Amino acid sequence: MAYDWGAEADRDGKEKAEQLPAGTHDVELVRVVFGGRGGSFKSSKGDHQIMCVFADVENREAAQMYTLSEKAGWALAKLLSAAGANMQRMTASGVKPQDFANADFAEKNLVGRKLRVQVDWDSKGYASITPVRKEAVADATANDDDIPF
């Protein structure tokens, strides 16, 4: 069968992954998205936002938006804590939620992190992803290289 150039030219090339079903899953943060056609993501108050995309071993995905402000930083902190980040080291190094608006910094420090999450879907098809914190482990046992800066 011949390659259908016309059909391929009309395709947008962005195949949608199967959705991660509701429930608890072990996932990896596979990519960070900083904006769309309208530019970079911003909250209603003008704060930078990022979208973190999580996938399980079957490549089923769900995404969650994170606002990068001091006030809303708790959501990103829960994600990083559940993924084993050294929270004390981040504090001592002066890392702020706004630092994750820098693509290089965010990708270096988020992509590849593994954690357990609870996924729920609302009636509009948006995911609500809640990180499940591992059993209490002292931050001192975390790898000092987990936030590369």
pLDDT of residue 140: 39
CA distance 74 to 80: 10
Answer whether residue 147 is part of any domain.
no
Q: Is residue 40 part of a domain?
A: yes
**What's the domain count of the chain?**
1
- Domain of 37 in residue numbering reads as 19-138
Contact 54, 20 (CB under 8 A): yes
Contacts of 42 (CB under 8 A, 6+ apart): 48, 49
Residue 23 structure tokens? 């429930």
In a domain, 54, yes or no: yes
Rg of the chain on CA atoms, in Å: 17
Classify residue 5: in a domain, yes or no: no
Residue 6's pLDDT band (cuts 50, 70, 90): confident
Q: What is the enclosing helix (H) or strand (E) of 116? A: strand 114-121
Given a cut of 60, whether residue 147 has pLDDT beyond it is no
Whether 7 maps to a domain, the answer reads: no
Any domain includes 104: yes
Residue-wise pLDDT tens digits, 94-139: 999 999 999 999 999 999 999 999 999 999 999 999 999 876 434 4
Task: Find the angle CA(13)-CA(129)-CA(109) to the nearest 5 degrees.
Answer: 75
What is the pTM (predicted TM-score) of this model? 0.81
One-letter identity of residue 64: Q
- Does residue 110 belong to any structural domain of this protein? yes
Banded pLDDT at 53 (limits 50, 70, 90): very high
Nearest C-alpha neighbor of 43 from the set 22, 66, 60, 20: 66
